[in-house]
């Protein structure tokens, strides 16, 4: 263990009741409890959900030890022999797998998301964004649910970049299937009293039905592509052609299904929530919103944004970074100790369950100036948090987000694309964050859509 790591005291959260532990409070408001327990009891705490004991670590040094320095000792929590939680939905894809399977898949998939490919992807993202918000013209002056809109937009972006297929026709079914399956995954993981899948409850049946639909969708897209043999230059082509540079082998059908669904789900849900929170933050910070619109108007002059424009939109990027700080789509990263070890001087037995509280880290008063304030300008002029691992929206170490470049282009690009045409005003009083694998605004966010008076160049005049 490095000398610089301070020692921590592990505090047991009081109030555990027999058998259930802290499950009652956690089930009602998981994010709020993770935040409150951290505020009350510190950076290294322990609580119980039924028979499971969890450690919540909310300090950059502990995050670095677990995610980076001891990454080989802290594995994902899923067991391919007995899938639980997200693994019930995503199978053995990149997010849920561990060990040699994960290593091989990561080697195959990482090059697909290389930064150098993102410029071409950005053009597609912008095209999809333009088409999607063209339908908004009918809603100008009306109230929309911006969280639902961002989910549909991000879903269409990943559908088009991944499969070169529009999902607009199936969007309601897909959104429903993902909502049901992810809620099921979250509840089955965090609630030890959840009945296993083989028990014929209405909820289990519903889960099986939506999974059949998602499987059919993925296998159908794979079969179609194999038959057509056409080249689309999209993510699916790259996935089908990808070979392990060490063995020369590609992915089997089951592996392709798991990875396609993983990228499809991980690739839109996170970005959509980040965008929804960003519109909320802008709507509640008029000065920042005015500065954002000024930058977008000045740089784009009415043009549709491209990847190259992003370097001239620093404030827009800063807004996105700041939104990821306050509302990280992955507010707690889960790991399991594969062997007994120590972290920050604290002994952990093999099998210990650990959460890295990114939501807490991002608001830690020891590492951020005015941590609760939305201040995009903190990201300008190179200001960075006082500790490297105090900001982890994309995780860190070998399991860091493989789609980081994709998301870092998509987020600011879609913000600029929408901000150039529309102004969004909050049309509800309270917005509550809800942890449901990702961090969502509970019940959506109602916003009034107002068209902006900006000269939009016709496509023929665009270079």
Task: Report the interface residues with ligand HEM, using CB under 6 A.
Answer: 94-95, 106, 262-263, 266-267, 270-271, 274, 324, 329-330, 333, 393-395, 399-403, 406-407, 411
In this structure, are residues 413 and 318 in contact, taking their beta carbons and an 8 Å threshold? no
Spatial neighbors of 276 by CB under 8 A, at least 6 apart, are: 146, 147, 150, 151, 440, 441, 444, 445
CB of 315 to ligand HEM, least distance (A): 18
Q: How far is the CB of 275 from ligand HEM (least distance, A)?
A: 8
Half-sphere exposure for 244 (CA within 13 Å, toward CB): 14
Biggest distance spanned by C-alpha atoms of the chain: 70
Instruction: Name the residue nearer to ligand HEM (CB basis): 16 or 71.
Output: 71
Nearer Cβ to ligand HEM (21/93): 93
Distance in Å, CB of 262 to ligand HEM, minimum: 5
User: For residue 206, what are its two tokens?
Assistant: 């519903």
Q: Which of 190, 447, 437, 184 is nearest to 329 (CA)?
A: 437
Cβ neighbours of 331 (radius 10 Å): 24
Closest distance of CB 96 from ligand HEM, Å = 8
CB contact at 8 A, 53 and 353: yes
Which residue, 91 or 393, is less far from ligand HEM as judged by CB? 393
Q: Which is nearer to ligand HEM, 124 or 425 (CB)?
A: 124
Say how many C-beta atoms besides its own lie within 10 A of residue 297's C-beta: 15
Closer to ligand HEM at the Cβ: 41 or 316? 316
The distance of closest approach from Cβ of residue 102 to ligand HEM in the complex, given in angstroms and rounded to an integer, is: 6
**CB-nearer residue toward ligand HEM: 103 or 425:** 103
CB of 85 to ligand HEM, least distance (A): 12
For 333, list phi and psi in degrees, rounded to 5: -100, 135
Contacts of 282 (CB under 8 A, 6+ apart): 288, 289, 292, 319, 424
Q: Which residue is nearest to ligand HEM (CB)?
A: 403
Closest CA to 54 of 390, 356, 446: 356
SS3 content of the chain, % helix, strand, coil (to 5): 55, 10, 35
DSSP states of 247-287: T-----HHHHHHHHHHHHHHHHHHHHHHHHHHHHHHHT-HH
Report the nearest approach of ligand HEM to the CB of residue 443 (Å).
21
Cβ(74)–Cβ(66) below 8 Å? yes
Q: Which is nearer to ligand HEM, 379 or 394 (CB)?
A: 394
- Shortest gap between Cβ of 419 and ligand HEM (angstroms)? 17
* Complex with ligand HEM: residue 218 or 333, whichever CB lies closer: 333
Cβ-based nearer residue to ligand HEM, 41 or 394 = 394
Q: 129 is written with which tokens?
A: 């964004």
Min separation Cβ 276 and ligand HEM, Å: 11
Residue at token pair 């959509």:
272
């Amino acid at each position: 263990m490095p000398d610089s790591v301070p020692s921590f005291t592990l505090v047991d959260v009081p109030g555990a009741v027999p058998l259930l532990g802290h499950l009652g409070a956690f089930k009602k408001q998981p994010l709020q409890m993770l935040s409150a327990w951290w505020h009350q009891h510190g950076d290294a705490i322990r609580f119980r959900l039924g028979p499971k004991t969890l450690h919540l670590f909310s300090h950059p040094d502990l995050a670095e030890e677990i995610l980076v320095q001891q990454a080989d000792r802290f594995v994902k929590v899923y067991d391919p022999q007995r899938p639980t939680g997200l693994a019930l939905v995503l199978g053995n894809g990149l997010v849920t797998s561990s060990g040699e399977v994960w290593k091989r898949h990561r080697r195959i998939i990482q090059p697909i998301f290389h930064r150098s490919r993102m410029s071409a992807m950005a053009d597609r993202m912008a095209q999809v964004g333009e088409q999607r918000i063209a339908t908004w013209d009918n809603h100008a002056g009306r109230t929309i649910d911006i969280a639902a809109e961002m989910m549909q937009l991000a879903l269409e972006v990943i559908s088009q970049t991944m499969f070169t297929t529009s999902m607009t026709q199936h969007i309601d079914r897909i959104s429903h299937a993902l909502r049901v399956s992810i809620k099921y995954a979250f509840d089955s993981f965090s609630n030890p009293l959840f009945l296993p899948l083989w028990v014929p409850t209405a909820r289990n049946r519903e889960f099986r039905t939506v999974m059949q639909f998602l499987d059919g969708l993925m296998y159908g897209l794979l079969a179609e592509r194999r038959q057509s043999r056409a080249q689309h230059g999209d993510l699916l082509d790259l996935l089908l052609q990808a070979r392990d540079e060490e063995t020369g082998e590609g992915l089997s059908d089951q592996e392709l299904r798991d990875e396609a669904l993983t990228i499809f789900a991980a690739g839109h849900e996170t970005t959509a929530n980040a965008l929804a929170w960003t519109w909320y933050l802008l709507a509640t910070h008029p000065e920042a919103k005015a500065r954002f619109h000024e930058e977008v108007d000045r740089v784009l002059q009415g043009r549709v944004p491209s990847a190259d424009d992003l370097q001239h939109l620093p404030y827009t990027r800063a807004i996105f970074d700041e939104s990821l700080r306050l509302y990280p789509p992955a507010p707690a990263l889960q790991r399991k100790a594969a062997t007994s070890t120590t972290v920050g001087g604290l002994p952990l037995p093999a099998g210990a369950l650990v959460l890295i509280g990114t939501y807490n880290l991002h608001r830690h008063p020891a590492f951020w100036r005015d941590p609760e304030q939305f201040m995009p300008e903190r990201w300008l002029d190179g200001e960075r948090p006082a500790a490297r691992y105090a900001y982890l929206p994309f995780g860190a170490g070998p399991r860091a987000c493989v789609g980081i470049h994709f998301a870092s282009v998509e987020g600011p690009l879609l913000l600029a694309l929408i901000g150039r045409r529309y102004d969004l005003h909050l049309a509800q009083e309270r917005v509550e964050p809800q942890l449901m694998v990702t961090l969502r605004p509970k019940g959506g966010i109602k916003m009034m859509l107002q068209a902006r008076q900006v000269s939009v160049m016709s496509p023929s005049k665009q270079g």
